[in-house]
Chains A and B, each alone.
Chain A
Amino acid sequence: MKRVREWAPALVVFVAVIGAWQGAIAVFHIQQFLLPKPSDIIKAFWTERHTLWPAGWYTFKEALGGFAIGSALGVVFATVVARFRSVGTAIMPIAIAANAVPIIAFAPIAGAWFGEVSPHSKMAIAAVLCFLPVTVNTLRGLQSANPRQIELMRSYAASEITIWRRVRVPTALPFLFTALKVASVLAMIGAIVGEYFGGAFNALGVLINSDAQIFDFVTAWAGILVASLLGLALYGAVVGTERLVVRWAPDTRE
């Protein structure tokens, strides 16, 4: 019951938007290359399933790889920075500056480094996108441990490592999951953007791009639908994991 009440508003808005979209096209005679009908998009989503779905899966794997690599590096980096302050003050500005570079500018370079067609260049782009939010949030989490809790652990003669394991890491976990949710969406974006600059013929970004070039906008939109569904799936997986791991955190409390 509670679930239904939580989801109902989003569902109502979604249906209303789709309905308005469909209606507006009929009423204002909008050209289909500007905005195809939702019904056509869904039709294409089904008829083109043999190309779109495997392409989606291919791109999803790239995104997943980038997500894993970028997030893992972010966690490691944040841990090092939290542990050795001086390393942090030396490297953090560089990391932030690197992240300020628009990902579009980085995409061709990643192609040159890891192979234009290769999935590795897309993973690299997705990883770069995921890295900073995960680093920043994890770092904040590791540093927000309650000093009293740490003192209490000291009074039990706990070692620094034990204090990390029992206090800092659990405190940081909700922060980490917030970052992973952001990163999960960014990873999909990174993989697709990367594919616009070249990729395997059966990659989703390549398909969307080439469909648009031959004015097959309905299929391009169906590709976008696939991309957003997969992005949602990754996001949902992160949320599900969070519910399992961080049962105590305020936003998952009953």
Chain B
Amino acid sequence: MSIHPVVQVHGVTKTFAQGNVTALETIELDLLPGEFVSLIGPSGCGKSTLLRIIGDLTPPTSGTVTVNGKTAKQARTDGDYGIVFQDSVLFDWRTVAKNIGLPLEMLGWDREKRRARVDQMLDLVELRGFADHHPWQLSGGMQQRVSIARALSFEPALLLMDEPFGALDEMTRERLNLELLSIWQQLGSTVVFVTHSISEAVFLSTRVVVMSPRPGRIAGFVDIDLPFPRTVDTREDPHFFELVTQVRELLRRRGEHLLPEEEAELL
């Protein structure tokens, strides 16, 4: 018996009436349980749009999204998604602990259970001691960790992350990459991760999905067979470089119509 995909994206097209843009054209994508899939591609190729369609934040123009055998809408209503945006999107009027506990409140967890889980999450992202701070008292990296803790707090079946580390410095970013991987391995969620960085995509993923623009399409897949756990040494591994090159080639080959600055951005 074959493993059932967690997410099935079938024939998804998206056109925006405004500006008459075809953001996505017939996307076919299956995600297996526990996969860590990165979407990579030049700016405007529809990565965010695809993520938002999977998360039922935008309806597709045509095609279907199935999550655990349900429609995306049903999955959203059931609380199957944990979403992390590029900026942390925290609520200034809530403390760190209450920000992390927000989805738990929405799911109707009682106070005791909530507190226990929030404490656990604070430990996980190493923010114990900041529980009663407000978001604006934290650094950008800490805020993003709160946002990740919030998305993970209810152990969603599916984590959707849109360039979560885009605004961070390289050092913080690499540290959070490691943290994210260890959390992912503990929880066993399926992750869809949008990024602009080839090396980040290769380092984190079990599979990289390369997209090309105008219209947004899947240009190809690269399976990342680097062993787990991945460490700082993984980035030195010759095979790591081979995979990076493979992704880069795919981006270049399928992106003949890239503008020079778009190409520069990716390389």
Contact surface of A with B, Cβ cutoff 8 Å: 146, 148-149, 151-158, 162, 166-167, 170, 248-250, 253
Contacts and interface: CB of A to CB of B under 8 A. Distances in A.
Closest 6 CB pairs of A and B: A156-B106, A157-B77, A248-B93, A148-B89, A170-B93, A155-B83
B131 to A, nearest CB: 15
A235 to B, nearest CB: 24
B106 A149 contact: no
A170 B91 contact: yes
24 contacts: A146-B89, A148-B85, A148-B87, A148-B89, A149-B89, A151-B57, A151-B83, A152-B85, A152-B89, A154-B57, A154-B76, A155-B55, A155-B56, A156-B79, A158-B106, A162-B106, A166-B91, A166-B102, A170-B93, A248-B92, A248-B93, A248-B136, A249-B92, A250-B136
B106 A253 contact: no
Given A152-B83, A155-B55, A253 B136 contact: yes
Nearest to A173: B93
B91 A155 contact: no
B91 A156 contact: no
A158 B108 CA distance: 11
Nearest to A148: B89
Contacts of B5: none
For chain A, what secondary structure do more than half of its interface residues adopt (helix, strand, loop), or is it mixed? helix
Contacts of B102: 156, 166
Interface residues on B, range: 20 to 34
A149, A154, A156, A253 pick with most chain B CB within 10 angstroms: A156
For chain B, what secondary structure do more than half of its interface residues adopt (helix, strand, loop), or is it mixed? loop
Contacts of B134: 248
Interface in B88-102: 89, 91-93, 102
B218 to A, nearest CB: 24
Nearest to A153: B106
A7 B216 CA distance: 59
Contacts of A148: 85, 87, 89
B78 interface: yes
Given A148-B87, A154-B76, 12 more contacts: A148-B89, A149-B89, A151-B83, A153-B106, A154-B57, A155-B57, A155-B76, A157-B76, A157-B77, A162-B106, A166-B91, A253-B136
Interface string B70-89: 00000011110101010101
Nearest to A156: B106
Contacts of B83: 151-152, 155
A152 B82 CA distance: 9
A79 B136 CA distance: 28
Nearest to B95: A248
Contacts of B107: 156
Contact of A155 (B81, B93, B136): B81
Contacts of A250: 136
A12 B121 CA distance: 52
Contacts of A158: 106
Nearest to B136: A253
Contacts of B85: 148, 152
B103 interface: yes
Contacts of A157: 76-79, 106
Nearest to B81: A155
B5 to A, nearest CB: 21
A158 B55 CA distance: 14
B82 to A, nearest CB: 8
Contacts of B77: 157
A170 B91 CA distance: 9
A75 B92 CA distance: 22
A148, A155, A158, A166 pick with most chain B CB within 10 angstroms: A155
Contacts of A149: 89, 91
A245 to B, nearest CB: 10
Contacts of A155: 55-57, 76, 81, 83
A158 to B, nearest CB: 6
B149 to A, nearest CB: 14
Contacts of B55: 155
Contacts of A167: 91
A26 B65 CA distance: 85
Interface string B155-171: 00000000000000000
A175 B48 CA distance: 32
A26 B70 CA distance: 87
